[in-house]
Chain A
Amino acid sequence: QKEVEQNSGPLSVPEGAIASLNCTYSDRGSQSFFWYRQYSGKSPELIMFIYSNGDKEDGRFTAQLNKASQYVSLLIRDSQPSDSATYLCAVMETSGSRLTFGEGTQLTVNP
Chain B
Amino acid sequence: GAVVSQHPSWVICKSGTSVKIECRSLDFQATTMFWYRQFPKQSLMLMATSNEGSKATYEQGVEKDKFLINHASLTLSTLTVTSAHPEDSSFYICSARDGVSAVYGYTFGSGTRLTVV
Contacts and interface: CB of A to CB of B under 8 A. Distances in A.
The SS class assigned to the A binding surface is: loop
B58 interface: no
Contacts, number: 43
A104 B43 CA distance: 6
A43 B49 contact: no
Interface residues of B, number: 21
A32 B43 contact: no
Given A42-B110, A42-B111, A43-B109, A49 B46 contact: no
Closest CB pairs A-B (n = 4): A43-B111, A43-B108, A103-B43, A101-B44
Interface of A: 32, 34, 36, 41-46, 49, 51, 88, 90, 96-104
Interface of B: 6, 32, 34, 42-44, 46, 49, 91, 93, 95, 102-104, 106-111, 113
